[in-house]
A and B are shown apart, each in its own frame.
Chain A
């Protein structure tokens, strides 16, 4: 019971008259690396938006570490330890790479809305940001406005900003979308390293990445989870293959 980091119970979401999420019940166990796969338009990103509080749910329950979060705004969900990334890179384009990471750390380090601390004097905060910068291998681009970074660099920054702080649950939305092979390999290693000891939930299209990273996979088709299990089970599941491939071809 207490082992679920995220628990979805019959979650539904309607846009107008169209039901996009049609009753999803799913447990993400603590420490699990859980991938959600499925055809385009199956509702994977919508599911993320519901969990992270970007959209309100229509009915059902979502809890994080045993506490209901489905009525909370995004910033309160984040404060309870859930952090997410975006499929379409979402950074602060006019701030430097370093500032982007530092912003991501601020709340966690307890600065809140302080207007009395000087940022440049906060040793611990700056060290943490520099460390993160090294981890995502962007030290050379420290003072470049994030909007001017190359695409793969922005994706790395996006991941860095998401894992900054001590969120226990990390949601990554297609972290490797649009990357080349070598960039993808690098990103996978990065995600592996950065999410060590945390719960990871990700949406991914690249099956290689999924099998590299995930130890549990759920298949979402048409707003419902049609299968959930170990990668080997999913790979062998004929129903999944048919539904997934069928939907892909349709």
Chain B
């Protein structure tokens, strides 16, 4: 964790926080400007789809980072993290109703925090149970708690609203800044603000004794004990704090959609957290954000044009587990020694040689998946198949032959190029090493 953070600025340990903070504010400014890129000046409206997607990305970034407080930083594999997201949402929606009804004199901007604190209380109870166990038992107990809450959410009407969920109205006319939140862009700004507060807070946590000891307990549970720390207690606090941030994210989702259903506590969402964090990369602080953005993009973008996005995410995930266990952030970090040596340029041609067959394989794979799912699902729904902008007749053999051919031949080609690339990469890395040794 710390090594990747510091990798860029090794000689000056003091600046270990300054650099990221500056970068974060730059991104903050970019995020504020983002909706205006999709602003339609003729109608004077924001793109609703884009706003929803960006809002979702913000929430998911918080959620993924809070999950990484467990997975990446503390080495705890949880299968029930959505519990804290969802309960935050339920708390927030009830608070929203209360605030709208006048019985709770709190501005809307503060509600996510209160919801997060409520979630943290729940995380304290569940965390007390779960963090007494290690490894597999922890994973299983969190899964049990997750399924328990998800089942309960469908079953009980009093708090969870049963299958229909709980809805409310966010235009409660109680704002710190006099905003009505009638427009999506105002909600988006609220999400951006809370995202940055949460991200900064979680970044800060990684620099504290607790954050460091969480890493230590992940690396070597036993040794931490012989340093005077109770690893269970370290994990307990980490778990509770992680619940706080997940709750904030859930609260924001309640405000955005004005409805909370059992989906928000479901195992599917817990799985999503795992996918985002792992694909993004658990070792670098920003990895989960990357994963959250990518998965949300796939979820809302790909699901618009194809209903097979789960296959793509699944294949991407398995590919990452097999070939890049450090995630996207890990792939980027792999290049930093080459970048420092100023040797990125010789990689351009090899990359093209990888990307071209990669694209062919990808197109072939997408084609196979889409044709297959069209044949069984799409056709039954009376849809027309459109692939890469062309209408295609799935009843003839021709498109099947083309995509299968592309997939198989492209795959073979990619495999050959991949092996060549691998040896090249190893050679380049080996080339770097003696130089480092000589410098010392």
Contact = CB atoms under 8 A, between A and B. Distances in A.
Interface stretch (B130-138, B227-235, B327-335, B386-394): B227-235
Instruction: Give the dominant DSSP class at B's interface.
Output: helix
Given A92-B223, A114-B208, A75 B3 contact: no
Interface in B1-52: 1-3, 6, 10, 13-14, 16-17
B2 A115 contact: no
Nearest to B234: A113
Instruction: Give the dominant DSSP class at A's interface.
Output: loop
A90 B222 contact: yes
B219 interface: yes
Nearest to B208: A115
A140 B16 CA distance: 19
A52 B227 CA distance: 11
Given A92-B216, A113-B237, A107 B227 contact: yes
Contacts of A15: none
Given A95-B216, A114-B209, A74 B2 contact: no
B51 to A, nearest CB: 34
Contacts, number: 112
B440 interface: yes
Contact of A119 (B209, B220, B226, B233): B209
B210 interface: yes
Contacts of B440: 140
A23 interface: no
Contacts of B6: 143
Given A95-B2, A95-B216, A111 B209 contact: yes
Contacts of B215: 92, 94-95, 99
Interface stretch (A4-12, A77-85, A205-213): A77-85
Interface residues of B, number: 37
B213 interface: yes
Given A92-B215, A95-B2, A113-B213, A73 B230 contact: yes
B211 interface: yes
Interface in A63-106: 73-75, 78-79, 83-84, 86, 90-96, 99, 102-104, 106
A94 B211 contact: no
Interface-centre pick from A79, A83, A104, A120 (highest chain B CB count, 10 A): A120
B359 interface: no
A113 B210 contact: yes
B241 interface: yes
Contacts of B16: 120
Contacts of B227: 75, 78, 103-104, 106-107, 161
A86 B216 CA distance: 16
B13 A120 contact: yes
B212 interface: yes
A91 B223 contact: yes
Contacts of A79: 228
A75 B219 contact: no
B207 interface: yes
Given A94-B1, A143-B3, A120 B14 contact: yes
Contacts of A31: none
Given A104-B227, A118-B17, 12 more contacts: A73-B230, A74-B226, A75-B225, A75-B228, A92-B220, A95-B2, A95-B3, A103-B212, A106-B209, A113-B229, A117-B209, A143-B3
14 contacts: A52-B226, A54-B222, A74-B222, A78-B225, A92-B220, A95-B219, A99-B212, A103-B216, A115-B209, A115-B210, A120-B14, A120-B17, A143-B3, A161-B227
